Amino acid sequence: MTMATSQANPLAKQYLTNKELLKEIHLSKNRYSSYTKPEYCDYDLILPSVDKINIRTIADAKRTKALRLSHLALAEAQKINPKTKLAEVEIDYKKILKTDVVFRIMTHDHVPLEPGRKKTPKNRGDHHSKCNFPPFQHFKFSTEDGAEKDDLICVGKSHWKGDMDTGEFCLDGEITKKLAKSYMLLCERYSMRFNWRGYTYVDEMRSQALLQLSQIGLQFDESKSQNPFAYYTAAIDNSFTRILNIEKKNQMIRDDLLIQTGSSPSFTRQFEHETMMRDERERIANLKTEDF
């Protein structure tokens, strides 16, 4: 699913695709994280716990890594020969060593406890400090003298600063500029839909939606879905609907005050009143017809 960008909009230079959004979400989360080596920021498989790492999940991680490396090799090869096919540069996943794959484990182990943060905690995260996205750690198999071992080592932590052992929990970070522009573009384009663009307070809708995206944008879980476009548009729609309901409530209060002072209410209130009276007359007429 894509959203076409407008040439008149300076933010619009290309299509917004799920692939690009996923990339920017990943890069943004890396700005809140620390890794022993830069290459360990890229994960091959997301798992709920270390106990889920077994022969099957290792094979799945190898396939994912082989596919990613194949696409990178294809992009490089097409710079020389645009007619290059994926099958010509495809990498066999069996050639990938298990020490080369990185697992993302969703865990709160490195997040400090904060008792009482919520009165009625419903999950484990409610007992720990609040994070702007679900915390995780990256693990890989260690090597000793070039030989494989079955020992898993932590090579990265989200919301972390410093070394894996001596570092500290840290919430400092920022999203990428490209992701921020994507938020702005999504709000702008969504507000131009036929069912929203006619409202006089559409600017307030856009502002509220942009604020909502800045708060929950990184909470998108890549392990459950690969469609951040739908996640963001649903959040925007909810923000727009919230502002609409608030404005309707304020309008009803304003119309009630105008009626009490003998003034004419808004056209919407008059139209609704006329519609209600017409429906009531038709109902009475139908009842009289049934009596005869």
- Kindly indicate the confidence band of residue 208, based on its pLDDT and cuts at 50, 70 and 90: very high
Q: Give the residue-averaged pLDDT of 94-115.
A: 92
Side-chain half-sphere exposure of 163, counting CA atoms within 13 A: 2
Is residue 112 a contact partner of residue 128, using CB atoms and an 8 Å limit? yes
Q: Flag whether pLDDT at 70 surpasses 70.
A: yes
Q: Flag whether pLDDT at 277 surpasses 50.
A: yes
Q: Give the residue-averaged pLDDT of 230-248.
A: 93
pLDDT recorded at residue 146: 54
Q: Flag whether pLDDT at 100 surpasses 50.
A: yes
pLDDT recorded at residue 10: 46
pLDDT recorded at residue 121: 82
* pLDDT tens, position by position, 134-158: 999 999 998 765 545 578 999 999 9
Mean pLDDT computed over every residue of the chain: 87
pLDDT recorded at residue 286: 82
pLDDT recorded at residue 11: 45
CA distance 108 to 137: 9
End-to-end, the C-alpha distance of the chain in Å comes to 59
Angle 94-97-99 (CA atoms, 0-180°, nearest 5)?
155
Is residue 86 a contact partner of residue 96, using CB atoms and an 8 Å limit? no
pLDDT recorded at residue 268: 74
Q: What would the DSSP string read from start to end of 258-274?
A: HHHTT----HHHHHHHH
User: Global pTM?
Assistant: 0.81
Q: Flag whether pLDDT at 210 surpasses 90.
A: yes
Q: Flag whether pLDDT at 3 surpasses 70.
A: no
Q: Flag whether pLDDT at 199 surpasses 50.
A: yes
pLDDT recorded at residue 251: 81
- Kindly indicate the confidence band of residue 8, based on its pLDDT and cuts at 50, 70 and 90: very low
**168: Cβ–Cβ under 8 A, 6 or more apart, which residues?**
160, 161, 162
Beta bridge partners of 39: none
CA distance 45 to 215: 26
